[in-house]
């Protein structure tokens, strides 16, 4: 008789072949367990409870009937801090979709073409959706195309992160049998849930939603559209999606109007996508006569340098450390996460935990902003040296041995290891070397940069001091940093509401100078130099 596994809080179970891992069983039953290392046992994030014992789902084989307890994504989605808004600019209301009532029926237009007809007068029910498809998070907003106003919004974790954490890992996952189908379906199912939830909030029928704008990096657009991202992961790194085009929403199994459309904004290159096109649009980088550095810090750090309207762009594979992954006590920005940290001159430590403003919470982990704060403070106070090693002479009762290695304790159960510091070094080194490469490409120094705009949900929760302390940003950027929020989403809304923005950016992206870091002579030396704190 086959053993039976039951995921108790999802109320799902099945008989499975003996020696099936708990992770594989979960995937067969559509139970989402986070496994950014794709089940090789290195990330430690697929923890579940079996008989009150905490184990890794990817390392635990089912040989007898078991009951499994997991933390559901619904719990995490409710407590996660996801930024849904960002910097924008003024533009006239000029959507692609319009409606007219001819006395008998309503005609729905896409530009000057009739997309379909509806019974009766539905001319005033005209909506679109802007979607920010982030590597880690998803944000959707229903927009009234007759007024330009947002009527409702929804945020979630990107469910693809349960299978592979960063862009490169997802590209690799798609090389496996059924990988692309799995990633597209799990995303589409979640988006449909978000559309339905937002529509219910707004009192809107999803059948009256006619256009969706997908704003996301190039790899995310491939996965959302079911297009193989394989060419993105091998030389010469070519995108199969150029953007500036529509796809029928029915082709993507999206639950909106039967003649709805999905608009893909223009992409810049294989690893500089529509999310950055959206950011360039709302920050008006082509229009400003200044020297501005625009950075979207995340698993894939995308960087644009503008000098009097001339733009150069690059991307840096920062990896998942900034999202709290590959960090022993790392977690997303949810309740119980240390989000800020400070060491006083007398050595006293203080920190802020997400959720404490509502009720007292103990720290259970460290999210990205807390991670950079902790590292920055440890560097500033000399507990971490320039090389990234914990100092042997540091005077701190929080720097103690754990498993024979120096470890810094925030609480008795939340700490930063030496390997964690290395992961942060690699991530910050990638971003810093990208910045330096762009400065060199435009023959500029850091002093000549007049403003630094940091975009993204993760970036919005950072502080300038930490970024300077760890050397992610040059010291010359002090007092120049501005956090502009989720410009991928605000730019997506601009694309949705104004067709002139689409035409303008389709032309503008062709003028952007693309810098491929791997092809830059001396980049390896630059990257190594950028690792130092």
Distance CA 140, CA 100 (A): 27
Q: Which helix (H) or strand (E) segment is 61 a member of? A: strand 61-62
Q: Inform me whether the pLDDT recorded for 40 exceeds 90.
A: no
Give residue 165's pLDDT.
76
pLDDT greater at residue 150 or residue 166: 150
Give CA–CA dist 254/259, Å, rounded.
Answer: 11
Burial class (CB in 10 A: 0-12, 13-18, 19+), 443: exposed
Supply the Cα-derived Rg of the chain in whole angstroms: 24
Consecutive H or E run containing 436: helix 418-441
pLDDT digits (tens, 9 = 90+) for 232-260: 988 888 999 999 999 999 999 999 999 99
What per-residue confidence (pLDDT) applies to 186? 93
Predicted pLDDT at 48 = 85
Distance CA 27, CA 176 (A): 15
Tell me if residue 395 falls in helix, strand or coil.
Answer: coil
Cα–Cα dist 154/138, whole Å: 8
Task: Of 33-47, 55-69, 233-247, 437-451, give the lowest mean pLDDT range.
Answer: 33-47
Q: Nearest Cα to 165, choosing from 427, 409, 352?
A: 427
* Cβ atoms of residues 95 and 499 within 8 Å: yes
In the chain, CATH 3.10.20.740 covers 4-71
For the CA atoms of 332, 334, 336, 341, the dihedral, rounded to the nearest 10 degrees, stands at 70
pLDDT at 443: 94
Classify 379 in phi/psi space as left (phi over 0), alpha (psi -120 to 50) or beta. Answer: alpha
403: left (phi over 0), alpha (psi -120 to 50) or beta: left
- Please check whether residue 406 is in contact with residue 419, taking contact to mean a CB–CB distance below 8 angstroms: no
The residue behind tokens 């500029």 is 444
* pLDDT the model gives residue 249: 97
Verify cis geometry, omega within 30 degrees of 0, for the bond prior to 264.
Answer: no
pTM confidence score: 0.87
Contact yes or no for 285/304 (Cβ under 8 A): yes
The pLDDT score that the predictor gives to residue 75 is 44
- Mean pLDDT over 135-157 rounds to 93
Contacts of 143 (CB under 8 A, 6+ apart): 127, 128, 129, 130, 149, 150, 151, 493, 496, 497
Q: How confident is the model at residue 455 (pLDDT cuts 50, 70, 90)?
A: very high
Assign a CATH topology to domain 97-276.
Nucleotidyltransferase; domain 5 (3.30.420)
Read off the pLDDT of residues 179-208 as tens digits, 9 standing for 90 and up.
Answer: 999 999 999 999 999 999 999 999 999 999
What residues does CATH 3.30.420.480 cover in the chain? 97-276
Q: What is the number of other CB atoms lying within 10 angstroms of the CB of residue 25?
A: 28
Q: What is the pLDDT of residues 203-214, one digit of tens each?
A: 999 999 999 999
* H/E run at residue 312: strand 310-316
Beta bridge partners of 457: none
* CATH class entry, domain 4-71: alpha beta
Consecutive H or E run containing 343: strand 337-343
Mean pLDDT value across the chain: 90
Its sign, for the CA torsion 469, 470, 473, 475, is positive
- pLDDT value at residue 368: 86
pLDDT digits (tens, 9 = 90+) for 54-84: 889 889 999 999 998 886 544 454 545 566 6
| Bond from prior residue into 90 cis (ω within 30 degrees of 0) | no
| More confident position, 459 or 499 | 499
Contacts of 345 (CB under 8 A, 6+ apart): none
What does the pLDDT look like over 349-371, one tens digit per residue? 999 998 876 555 688 899 888 99
Helix segments in 59-159, DSSP class H: 73-79
Q: pLDDT digit string (tens) for 160-172?
A: 887 887 888 899 9
- What integer pLDDT is reported at residue 74 of this predicted model? 47
Share of the chain above pLDDT 90, in %: 67
455, containing H or E segment: strand 451-455
Q: Is the pLDDT of residue 24 over 90?
A: no
């Amino acid at each position: 008789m086959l053993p039976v596994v039951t995921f108790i809080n999802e109320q799902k179970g099945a008989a499975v072949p003996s020696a099936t891992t708990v992770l594989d069983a979960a995937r067969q039953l559509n139970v989402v367990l986070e496994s950014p290392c794709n089940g090789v046992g290195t990330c430690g994030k697929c923890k579940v409870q079996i008989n009150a014992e905490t184990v890794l789902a990817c390392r635990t084989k089912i040989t007898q009937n078991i009951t499994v307890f997991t933390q559901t994504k619904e719990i995490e989605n409710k407590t996660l801090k996801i930024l849904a808004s960002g910097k924008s600019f003024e533009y006239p209301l000029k959507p692609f979709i319009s409606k007219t009532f001819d006395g008998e029926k309503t005609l729905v237009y896409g530009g000057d073409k009739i997309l379909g007809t509806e019974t009766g007068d539905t001319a005033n029910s005209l909506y679109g959706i802007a979607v920010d498809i982030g590597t880690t998070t998803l944000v959707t907003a229903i927009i009234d195309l007759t007024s330009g106003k947002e009527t409702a919004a929804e945020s979630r974790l990107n469910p693809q992160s349960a299978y592979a954490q960063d862009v490169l890992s997802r590209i690799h996952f798609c090389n496996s049998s059924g990988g692309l189908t799995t990633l597209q379906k799990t995303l589409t199912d979640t988006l449909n849930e978000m559309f339905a939830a937002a529509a219910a909030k707004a009192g809107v029928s999803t059948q009256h939603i006619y256009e969706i704008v997908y704003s996301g990096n190039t790899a995310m657009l491939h996965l959302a559209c079911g297009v193989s991202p394989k060419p993105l992961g091998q030389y010469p790194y070519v995108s199969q999606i150029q953007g500036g085009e529509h796809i029928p929403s029915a082709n993507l199994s999206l639950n909106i109007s039967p003649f709805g459309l999905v608009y893909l904004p223009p992409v810049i290159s294989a690893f500089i996508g529509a999310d950055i096109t959206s950011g360039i649009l709302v920050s008006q980088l082509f229009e400003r006569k200044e020297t501005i550095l625009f950075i979207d810090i995340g698993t894939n750090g995308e960087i644009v340098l503008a000098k009097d309207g001339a733009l150069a762009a690059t991307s840096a594979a920062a990896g998942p450390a900034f999202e709290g992954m590959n960090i022993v006590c790392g977690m997303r920005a949810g309740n119980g996460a240390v989000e800020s940290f400070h060491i006083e001159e007398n050595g006293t430590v203080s920190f802020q935990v997400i959720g404490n403003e509502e009720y007292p919470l103990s720290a259970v982990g460290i999210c990205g902003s807390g991670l950079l704060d902790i590292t920055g403070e440890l560097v500033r106070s000399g507990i971490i040296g320039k090389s990234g090693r914990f100092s042997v002479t540091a005077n701190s009762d929080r720097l103690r041995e754990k498993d024979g290695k120096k470890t810094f304790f925030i609480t008795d159960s939340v700490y930063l290891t030496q390997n964690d510091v290395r992961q942060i070094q690699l991530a910050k080194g990638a971003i810093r070397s990208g910045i330096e490469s762009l400065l060199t490409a435009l023959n500029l120094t850091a002093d000549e940069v007049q403003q630094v705009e940091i975009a993204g949900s993760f970036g919005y929760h950072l502080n300038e001091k930490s970024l300077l302390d760890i050397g992610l940003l040059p010291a010359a950027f002090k007092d120049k940093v501005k956090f502009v929020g989720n410009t991928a989403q605000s730019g997506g809304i601009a694309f949705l509401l104004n067709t002139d923005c689409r035409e303008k950016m389709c032309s503008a992206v062709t003028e952007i100078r693309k810098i491929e870091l791997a092809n830059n002579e001396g980049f390896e030396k630059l990257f190594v130099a950028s690792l130092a704190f």
